[in-house]
Amino acid sequence: MLTMPEIHYIKHLRENDDLSISEIARKLGKNWRTVKKYADEEVY
């Protein structure tokens, strides 16, 4: 499970920096599926 700051950072990298899921996973040292799960999830 990721912390809220990590989730927001993943979303920021995906939406604003236009990085791929693979690039984000590599950059953060996280599993690809974990990054995809949180990148696609709605955060309130």
Does 29 have pLDDT greater than 80? Answer: yes
pLDDT given for residue 5 in this prediction: 96
Q: How far apart are CA 35 and CA 37, in angstroms?
A: 5
Q: Is 28 exposed, middle or buried (0-12, 13-18, 19+ CB in 10 A)?
A: middle
Does 44 have pLDDT greater than 80? Answer: no
Q: Say how many C-beta atoms besides its own lie within 10 A of residue 9's C-beta.
A: 16
Residue range 11-24, pLDDT digits in tens: 999 999 999 999 99
Q: How far apart are CA 22 and CA 44, in angstroms?
A: 24
- Round the average pLDDT of the chain to a whole number and report it: 95
Packing angle of the helix pair 21-28, 4-15 (nearest 10 deg)? 140
pLDDT given for residue 1 in this prediction: 86
Does 43 have pLDDT greater than 90? Answer: no
